[in-house]
Amino acid sequence: MSALLWGLLASSSLVIGALIVLVRPPGQRTVALVMAFGAGVLISAVAYDLVEDAFEHADAWTLLLGLGAGAVTFYAGDLLIDRLGGADRKRSTGAQAAGGGAAIAFGTVLDGVPESVVLGTTLVGGSGVSVAMLAAVFLSNLPEAMSATSGLVKSGTPRRSIMLLWLATTAVSGVAAWLGWYVLGGADAGAVGFVQAFAAGALLTMLADTMIPEAYEFGGPSTGLMTVLGFSVAFGLSTLA
């Protein structure tokens, strides 16, 4: 049950990000810079909380196989969702109007599940939740929700539908965290390492495909500075955990 609660807590920033935009919409550049910060947080999480841990649990070949499998799986799923109309699900420009609601919803879930599963795996063995991973998921979800909500509002999506989308995604992410803990609770170290590497590959592909391009398009040169700031904050949290 604790894995479910931690998953819900980490993904609750999706709802918070949506509420921020719905109550007082920030400027597009602000959203982009917050997204750049979130990208830096996730890069740090991938490096120090996924790949490093995966290498401690499994050999190099398992790590490389997991990275490749995660990247290809996300790429294939993202390509399918793009064709169904969810290509611009994270855009803050309102391009979501051209896509289908179901595709946008599935795409949002695809983006959030890998990190939630890994959050659940940090509880395997009876150890406490990884504070660094919890913070990374929470901080990275916030700008994603802000950007996508800005676009959905501009596309004319009803506010009620927007909130239902994020509430449902939060619930799915919580269940994904529980599944990560439950399924891998009795797994060997190699399996845990593979899952961590798989999530790392999926997250890196997502970052390069959606978050970083969107952030730079509207954030400009300051995007790099905000990305490094996000990386530094997440790294600092990992050293304190």
pLDDT tens for residues 39-52?
898 898 888 878 88
Predicted confidence at residue 227, as pLDDT, reads: 94
| pLDDT bucket at 93, cuts 50 / 70 / 90 | low
CB 106 within 8 A of CB 234: no
Look at 90 and 187; give whichever has higher pLDDT. Answer: 187
Record the pTM: 0.79
Q: Return mean pLDDT, the chain.
A: 81
Q: What is the pLDDT of residue 113?
A: 78
Selection from 165, 231, 193 nearest residue 11 by Cα: 165
Q: What is the mean pLDDT of residues 15-20?
A: 90
Contacts of 64 (CB under 8 A, 6+ apart): 197
Q: Is 188 helix (H, G, I), strand (E, B) or coil?
A: coil
Confidence of residue 92 (pLDDT cuts 50, 70, 90): low
What is the secondary structure of 101-160 as a DSSP string? HHHHHHHHHHHHHHHHHHHHHTTGGGPPP-HHHHHHHHHHHHHHHHHHHHHHHHTT--HH
Would the pLDDT of 167 be above 60?
A: yes
Per the structure, the complete domain to which residue 169 belongs is given by 2-21+28-240
* Nearest partner of 14 among 111, 155, 84, judged by Cα: 111
* pLDDT higher than 70, residue 212: yes
Residue 98 in this model has a pLDDT that exceeds 50 = no
> 135-161, pLDDT tens digit by residue?
778 877 887 788 778 777 877 788 898
Please write the tens of the pLDDT for every residue from 109-135.
777 777 788 788 777 655 667 777 787
Structural domain total, the chain? 1
